[in-house]
Structure 1
Amino acid sequence: MPLFNQSIRRKIVGIALGLIVLMLVTSILSMVMSSQVGILLDELTNRYIPAYGDLARANIRSLERAVALRRMVMMKMQSPTDEEAYAARLREFEDADRKIEQEAESARKHINAIIDDTRTPSDNAALARIETRIETAVIELRRDQNEDHAKLLKQIDAQQMTEARNTLEHIDALRDQFNQKIDAIRADMLKQVFVSTSQVIRHQRQAIIISGIVTVLAAVVGFAFALLVSSGITRPVRLLLAGTREVEAGRFDKAITVSTQDEIGELAAAFNRMIEQLRHNERIRETFGRYIDPKVVQGLIDRPEVAIDGQRRVMTIMFSDMSGFTSMSEGMTPRGLVKVMNHYFTVMSAPIRNNRGVIDKYIGDAIMSYWGPPFVEEDEQALLAGLTAIDMADEVPALQKQLPDLLGIRAMPVPCDLRIGIATGEVLTGSIGSELMMSFTVMGDAVNLASRLEAANKVYGTRILISQATAEAIGARLELREIDRLAVVGQSVPQPVFEVMGRAGAPNPPQESLRAYYAEGLAAYRACRFDEARSAFNAALESAPGDGPSRAMLARIAQFEANPPAADWNGAWRLESK
């Protein structure tokens, strides 16, 4: 519709003008109808009622004339005659006689004015008859009484009282006939007055009703018009609001229908272009989210300066590796190998993401991930890494059952397991690479230590080894045991390493015995009391047959018995291989 293609300003001005026009139409119609009622009322008050009053006064003048006539007779009948009084009564008689004609003529003028006025719906035929009857009554009165009046005066002058009395009675009869005619005319005139009054009242009621109807109609039309135009404004706004909420909720698949060409329509079109751009950016984010952790992507979007400048932070690094993978992959086809690796990474990546970790990269069958600001708080990063390692270890039994089905074989040719190393320390975070390609990663001694601890699991037969800093950060929130004082490749100063045994309160009595015996053996081992250490480690094996660290320490004691350590040995062990 052309109406909705106008600007908002024009729509609002149009609504205002429409309402003003409706108001003017209503006012003009009310004025016209009020004017019509005024015309009828003016005719009633200035013509009908005066005409009726003139006829009523004509009756009165007739009575006054009769009274004046009798007084004239009485003056003549006095002895001696009072000529002066007689002349005064004669003047009264003549004045009353003249006024009868004046009143009748005035009534006729008013009636003719009503008949001549075409603006009013009067009964002109009835009024014309009344006007004719008035004229006839006056003419007959004048014709019949003029002769009798002259006759009466002669009889009075001749002192013919009996004849004068008869003449006077005849004059009274004529007067009564005139009065009866005037009364009849007045009655008909009164009917016309009532008819005119009814018309005034009817027109007044009609004016009120029609004005009310027109006012209501104008209000309804104005409201409908305003509602129509306002809905054309508010509906796109509601759609825009709904679209904004969809975007706020992260849904970019719903475009807004552009139904107008005003400012809101332009805003809706711009909003659709914005959604399309956001959808495009989201696709880019989802695509890169498969290659770069979504937390890193979001972090770089929110704070791009971090990637450019780099920062030094205390973070917790984790390396996890799949043992036995090399032997298993030798006989696999490339497609089967990709299938197995994708499943393995999917299963092992879930605990990392669930515990708010950031996957840095996949290295062969290894996963490098980290925790720390700004992704998690510094005081919870070590615990989250430890919980992630436990969750990943819990997935191993199910994974071991799934791999044969994925490979299409009955049983795995070699057993597979998981090794995890965790270290906490200061690292450098930032974008590392060339001008053509960069990667947001972490670098530092903690990264190297976590990688060496993952490899050290092979030496001790463990799954999860963590550094001293990580163990101190975790505290009693997980079940830990110290395994050894170790110096890995690239480090000159040895430090204690710990095994994560499970969640706090999780170890059973055999594990508690294992931890106690192992701690006793480790203390004796470091004091070079190898016999005591052997007995403690054997006791630990009795509590947990197959315990890797106990076996490793027993093998080391046998080696020391053949080649004792130096006198200044501090109980630490140095790994010579990565």
Structure 2
Amino acid sequence: MPIFNQSIRRKIVGIALGLIVLMLVTSILSMVMSSKVGVLLDELTNRYIPAYGHLARANIRSLERALALRRLVMTKMQSPSDEEAYTARLHEFEEVDRKIEEEAEGARSLINAIIDDPRTPSDNATLARIETRIETAVTELRRDLNEDHAKLLKQVDARQMDDARATLEHLDVLRDQFNLKIDAIRADMLKQVFFSTSQVIGHQRQAIIISGIVTLLAAIVGFAFALLVSSGITRPVRLLLAGAREVEAGRFDKSITVSTQDEIGELAAAFNRMIEQLRHNERIRETFGRYIDPKVVQGLIDRPEVTIDGQRRVMTIMFCDMSGFTAMSEGMTPRGLVKVMNHYFTVMSGPIRNNRGVIDKYIGDAIMSYWGPPFVEADEQAVLACLSAIDMADQVPMLQKQLPDLLGIRAMPVPCDLRIGIATGEVLTGSIGSELMMSFTVMGDAVNLASRLEAVNKVYGTRILISPATAEAIGSLLELREIDRLAVVGQSAPQPIFEVMGRAGALTAAQDSLRQHYAAGLTAYRARRFDDARTAFNAALESAPGDGPSQAMLDRIAQFGTSPPDAGWDGAWRMDHK
């Protein structure tokens, strides 16, 4: 069967095997040549250079020997004679004398090892001559020196100083002759070191060139083979890519036609089936996207099991209500009311969507929305909810100007404003309802608390109140003010509630002063120091005239003047109505 009619799997495996074989050939060749370079380098490092070092040290030893001999003679010539010192000098002289032969023998051993190693292309004839010359030089030196040493010692013992001096001069001549011979040998040995170095460099360069050529050939062969095999794949893949780009752009009206006998044909059929399913899903999204938040629609399509079974998650819930809606709706026609409410919901829904919130439902003039996994990360849900509330509050002045123009009147019957409550806690998420109709929503204490906090704004004259769990999750990312410790309807234990004043670092000097005076008043209030609390709350009103919480606390303190709290009062306020 021709290779181009094989499956893609076999084509790819064939290409991979061919490249692996070429890679193995290249690797083996590189290892063989690198091994040869390693042998040459090892010989240069461990034989040639150390042998040259032995010869160089032999010269030094000869000078040390001459120095030791003079010290020996000087010790012998001292008066009175110190035999112990003389013996020590004699021992030192013999030790240095012996080292000359040891260095020469070390050099000869290394040279012979080079000659005996058949793996390296050394100049064995020249090396053999060098080894012979070393042996001859040492032998002649030893033969000439032994006689003169004995003569010198006798002359020193007999105090024949002139004769001893002549003998020392003759020994110096012999030493110089020996050093000249060793220098000549060293020069020849250095040539061999350079020869070995050139061999290493040459083989290394040869290994690099050959490896490069083989690698290049392997790359060319592999590329040519891959190009031939892939030529039958690229065209249908391009068609698939073009179809995928159409889908990415949101166009699901085109199918692709690919006629091949391999997996590409199967992929084309599967791609066409996928496009059909995407068309179906898009119709669902378009239909339900106007009635349910698109994020929820996507979740219902992607993970239906989660929406059916339900899950417990920590989420942040927001309730937003329009103040004065009842009074405003009484003076409007149904058409005008619908027009106002649609515009109101459009303006207030924008910040929620922009901060990745999910709008759960519209309840009369109220908006219920939530933040949390899987739509946003758990550690950012509270901040996003509060940022949405701030953005919604920022829309109020513009909305107050737009509504009269929208209705064609000079002014609204009653001013409109917002009340927002936000709470964070564990809720049940899932599809709730009957067998006939269901709604994907959230249920739990956090939902009830958010609804209660929205209503509590009426008591304190605030816009945005949040629960302590929400405040804790926000930390220092926003500017908050503790308003009171409150037990809303349905709760037995009071908990602190907070007002969102603005983004971090955005407070004016007056707002910062308001927060400080209010905090001082709240502390005095809870400690039953109502006079101090009244002073602090009045100071807060001076910083921000019309501050609702400060006025509410002053009214409460005035009420305590006629009906003081009981002895077990804990500084908290309990709501007895919604």
Could you state the TM-score of these two structures normalised by the residue count of structure 1? 0.57
Structure 1 position 254, deviation (Å): 4.3
1:439 aligned partner = 439
| In structure 2, C-alpha distance between the alignment counterparts of 1:467 and 1:430, rounded to whole Å | 23
Q: CA deviation at 1:262?
A: 8.9
Matched letter for residue 314 of structure 2 = V
**Does the 8 A contact of 1:243 with 1:254 survive in 2?**
no
Deviation sequence 1:440-476 (CA, Å, 0-9, x none): 1111111101000000000000000001111111111
CA contact (8 A) 1:240 1:256 kept: no
**Structure 2 counterpart of 1:415:** 415
Equivalent residue, structure 2, for 1:359 = 359
Structure 2 Cα separation of the partners of residues 402 and 419 of structure 1 = 19
User: Deviation at 1:351?
Assistant: 1.1
Larger displacement relative to structure 2 (329-338 or 542-551):
329-338
Partner of 1:455, secondary structure, is helix
Gaps of 5+ in 2: 7-230
Is the 1:383–1:474 Cα contact (8 Å) retained in structure 2?
yes
Partner of 1:453: 453
Structure 2 CA distance for partners of 1:234 and 1:314, relative to 1, 3 Å: closer
CA contact (8 A) 1:239 1:256 kept: no
2:404 maps to 1:404:
yes
Does the 8 A contact of 1:340 with 1:406 survive in 2? yes
In 2: Cα distance, 1:347 partner to 1:481 partner: 27
One-letter amino acid matched to 2:411: A
Q: Does 1:557 align with 2:557?
A: yes
Range with greater deviation from structure 2 (303-312 or 443-452) = 303-312
Q: CA RMSD in A?
A: 2.4
Pairing 1:282–2:282 present: yes
Between the aligned residues of both structures, percent identity stands at 83
Helix, strand or coil: the match of 1:399? Answer: helix
Equivalent residue of 1:481, what SS? Answer: strand
Do structure 1's residue 494 and structure 2's residue 503 form an aligned pair? no
Query: Is 1:481–1:501's contact at 8 Å kept on the other side of the alignment?
Result: yes
Q: What is the match of residue 482 of structure 2? A: 482
**Partner in structure 1 of residue 309 of structure 2:** 309
Structure 1 equivalent of residue 389 of structure 2 = 389
**1:255 equivalent in structure 2:** 254
- The aligned residue for residue 509 of structure 1 is 509
Tell me how far 1:270 sits from its aligned partner: 6.6
Where does residue 536 of structure 1 map in the other structure?
Answer: 536
Q: Name the CA distance, whole Å, in 2 between partners of 1:435 and 1:237.
A: 46
Find out whether 1:335 has 2:335 as its counterpart: yes
Task: Return the alpha-carbon distance in structure 2 between the equivalents of residues 350 and 508 of structure 1.
Answer: 27
Could you tell me which residue of structure 2 aligns to residue 326 of structure 1?
326
Is the Cα contact below 8 Å between 1:252 and 1:275 reproduced in 2? no
Q: Distance in 1 between matches of 2:460 and 2:544?
A: 15
Alpha carbons of structure 1 residues 237 and 313: separation in structure 2 relative to 1, 3 Å = closer
What SS does structure 1 have at the residue aligned with 2:398?
A: helix
Shift in Å at residue 487 of structure 1? 0.5
SS, match of residue 498 in structure 1:
strand
Distance in structure 2 (CA, Å) of the matches to 1:273 and 1:379? 39
Give me the whole-angstrom Cα distance separating, in 1, the residues matched to 2:484 and 2:240: 64
Alignment of 1:19-418 (within 5 A): 237-247=237-247, 249-256=248-255, 258=257, 271-272=271-272, 274-418=274-418
- Any conservation in 2 of the 1:315–1:424 contact (CA below 8 Å)? yes
**2:341 counterpart letter in structure 1:** M
Structure 1 residues 151-173: Cα deviation after superposition (integer angstroms, max 9, x where no partner): xxxxxxxxxxxxxxxxxxxxxxx
**2: CA distance between counterparts of 1:294 and 1:255?**
25
8 Å contact kept, 2:484–2:573: yes
Task: Please list the CA deviations of residues 500-519 of structure 1 after superposition, one character each: whole Å capped at 9, or x if unmatched.
Answer: 00000011110111001101
**Contact kept? 1:459, 1:552, Cα under 8 Å:** yes
1:55-94 CA-to-partner distances (Å, cap 9, x unmatched) read xxxxxxxxxxxxxxxxxxxxxxxxxxxxxxxxxxxxxxxx
Q: Counterparts of 1:333 and 1:9 in 2: how far apart (Å)?
A: 75
Preserved CA contact (<8 Å) 2:258 2:268: no
Q: Residues 199-225 of structure 1, C-alpha deviation per residue, up to 9 Å, x if partnerless?
A: xxxxxxxxxxxxxxxxxxxxxxxxxxx
**Letter aligned with residue 508 of structure 2:** N
Give distance in 2, aligned partners of 1:309 and 1:502: 39
Structure 1 residue 266, shift from structure 2 partner = 9.0
1:13 corresponding residue in structure 2: none
Match for 2:254: what amino acid? A
Where in structure 1 do 4 or more consecutive aligned residues deviate above 6 Å? 259-267
Give the secondary structure class of the aligned counterpart of 2:475: helix
Once the 2 structures are TM-superposed, how far is the Cα of residue 274 of structure 1 from its aligned partner? 3.8
Secondary structure of residue in 2 paired with 1:423: strand
* Inter-partner Cα distance in structure 2 for 1:306 and 1:470: 25
CA-to-partner distance for each residue in 1:288-343, whole Å, 9 max, x for gaps?
Answer: 12211111222233322211221111111110111111111122222222222121
Would you say the 8 A contact 2:239–2:258 is kept in 1?
Answer: no
Residue number in structure 2 paired with 1:576: 576
Structure 1: 5+ residue stretches without partners: 1-7, 11-229
Tell me the residue number matched to 2:169: none
Q: Is the 8 A contact 2:341 2:365 kept in 1?
A: yes
Does the CA-based 8 Å contact 1:324-1:416 persist in structure 2? yes
In structure 1, what is the Cα distance between the partners aligned to 2:314 and 2:265?
Answer: 52
CA contact under 8 A between 2:255 and 2:275: conserved in structure 1?
no
Whether the 8 Å contact between 1:318 and 1:420 is mirrored in structure 2 is yes
Instruction: Write the letter of the residue equivalent to 1:502.
Output: G
Distance in 1, matches of 2:540 and 2:253, equals: 64
Q: Is the 8 A contact 2:331 2:413 kept in 1?
A: no
Alpha carbons 2:312, 2:428 under 8 Å: kept: yes
Q: Aligned letter for 1:358?
A: V
Secondary structure at 1:452 match in 2: helix
Query: In the aligned structure 2, how far is the partner of 1:412 from the partner of 1:334?
Result: 15
Code of the aligned partner of 2:277: Q
Shift of 1:281: 1.4
- For residues 14-59 of structure 1, the C-alpha deviation after alignment (integer angstroms, 9 at most, x for no partner) is xxxxxxxxxxxxxxxxxxxxxxxxxxxxxxxxxxxxxxxxxxxxxx
Q: Give the AA of the match of 1:468.
A: P
Q: Which residue of 1 aligns with 2:520?
A: 520
Is the radius of gyration larger for structure 1 or structure 2? Answer: 1
CA distance in 1, matches of 2:244, 2:457: 53
Q: Provide the C-alpha distance between the structure 1 equivalents of 2:433 and 2:295, rounded to a whole number of angstroms.
A: 20
After superposition, the Cα gap between the structure-2 partners of 1:426 and 1:273, relative to the gap in structure 1 and judged at 3 Å, is closer
CA contact 2:252–2:278 (8 Å) conserved in 1:
no
1:287–1:551 distance in 2 versus 1, CA, 3 Å: same
